Amino acid sequence: MASPSKRQKVDADTDARGRSLVTLQTSAATLSLDPAGGFTRSFGFLQGSIASFRLASSTNPLCWDSAVHDQKDPSDSAPRPLGHFLCLDRWGPPSGPELANGMPYHGEASQARLSAKLPLAGLSAKRRARLLEVTSAPGGEAAVAVFEDEVQNDAKLGRMYNMVQHPSIAPPFLTRETRVDCNGLRGFTQCAREAVSAQSWATPMKFPEARTSGTRDARQMTGGPDDVFSYEVDPSCSHGWVTAYTADQKLLLGYVWPRAHYPWVSLWCSSAGEEPKARGLEFGTTGLHQPFPVLSQHPRIFDLPTFEYLDAGESRQRSFACFLLTISEDFAGVESLAVASDTLVLCERGGRRHEIRMSSCCFGA
């Protein structure tokens, strides 16, 4: 794997809640990882929840806290999902017997402390985080972080598994005016905690269409307490991407990844009455938010797998990049996003082009 920039500084830190953080910093941006959100620092790797990613002059879009969301004590130091966390070995709920045996919602990786070994799942994971030096971002400030994940099956038998990146944005960055774009194509609606049938995707919707009680625009908050819309990443694209921007805050958060690593993008909306609570900008190996017994009944949707398989002793590597960009108040939304070696090329609706150039390539070997 490529080495981190020599300009990147790594520090131990503590946030306002008293939680210990590992912070990566360049001249333009700060990236903070929470040790009690599922990661270990060893062998040059960092694994865990991204608790904060911000430019020097901006707010933190990844300020979502599961304790605040669930109306629990945010000062509790217990492991829990924060900001952007990893769902491994599953996305969604365990089966009834698995729940009785202690398997948490979204898998053990979202709640691990200091170790990425998952004893119930029989998996281990490690992550390398790099905060790149941005050399050019015409028209605004920018920051880019690259993450390289490896998952290994430590068990003596092969098994089904899934791996979903779960970035969650929250107020104050998230408002009624926040807009989400992605290169999703065909999709379907699912309630996060209820069973689905093949009828859910028999007549696909197409992004930005979102079907709830009526037809909504998935770029906006859809008003439900727990709406989930899953889309295939456009098969004609080599990379998947998702962005969220709040124009009056002049800030955009984005993710880009190889489509071969994560062929699904899923958007979660959570509102309390008229007020937005959270938006999930999720991407992963599955688009079906269900336990493995249900996935086994629906192994493919839109000719894409709903689960992966890892044989005994096997490992898999996947990567993604996260970026921030300051924008103008008349920003019209993202039409397309492309990766060209050491440059991210974002095309705005209406034709404006934004290029973020970095000191090294976005996705290392």
pLDDT in tens, 27-69: 889 998 886 644 333 333 445 689 999 998 889 999 999 888 9
Q: In 3-state terms, the chain is what percent helix, strand and coil (to 5)?
A: 10, 50, 45
Q: What per-residue confidence (pLDDT) applies to 14?
A: 59
Q: Is the pLDDT of residue 356 over 70?
A: yes
Q: What per-residue confidence (pLDDT) applies to 214?
A: 85
Q: Which residue has the tokens 């620092």?
A: 41
- 344 belongs to a structural domain: no
- 284 belongs to a structural domain: yes
User: What average pLDDT is seen over the chain?
Assistant: 85
- 353 belongs to a structural domain: no
- 47 belongs to a structural domain: yes
How far is residue 332 from each of residues 138, 163, 201, measured CA to CA in Å? 17, 32, 30
Q: Is the pLDDT of residue 282 over 60?
A: yes
Share of the chain above pLDDT 90, in %: 57
Q: Is the pLDDT of residue 129 over 70?
A: yes
- 250 belongs to a structural domain: yes
Contact 52, 59 (CB under 8 A): no
For residues 162 and 115, what is the distance between their CA atoms, to the nearest angstrom?
19
- 246 belongs to a structural domain: yes
71: confidence class by pLDDT, cuts 50, 70, 90: confident
Q: Is the pLDDT of residue 360 over 80?
A: no
Total domains present in the chain: 1
Structure tokens at 166: 């779960």
22: confidence class by pLDDT, cuts 50, 70, 90: confident
Q: What per-residue confidence (pLDDT) applies to 194?
A: 57
- Which DSSP category does 100 fall into? H
Q: What per-residue confidence (pLDDT) applies to 12?
A: 53
- Residue 276, number of CB atoms within 10 A of its CB: 21
What CATH number corresponds to the domain at position 181? Answer: 2.70.98.10
- 360 belongs to a structural domain: no
- 148 belongs to a structural domain: yes
Mean pLDDT of 313-320: 96
pLDDT in tens, 93-128: 677 886 777 766 645 544 443 346 788 889 988 888
pTM over 0.85: yes
Mean pLDDT of 233-255: 97
Mean pLDDT of 153-170: 96
For residues 310 and 83, what is the distance between their CA atoms, to the nearest angstrom?
27
- DSSP string of 238-262, one letter each residue: SEEEEEEEEGGGTEEEEEEEETTT-
pLDDT in tens, 199-213: 889 999 999 999 988
5-14, 73-82, 289-298: the lowest-pLDDT one: 5-14
For residues 151 and 141, what is the distance between their CA atoms, to the nearest angstrom?
34
Structure tokens at 113: 């402390």
Q: Which residue has the tokens 């209406």?
A: 350
Q: What per-residue confidence (pLDDT) applies to 213?
A: 80
Range of the domain at 109: 9-334
Q: Which residue has the tokens 């958007």?
A: 267
Q: Where are the alpha helices (DSSP H) in the chain?
A: 66-69, 96-100, 199-202, 292-297
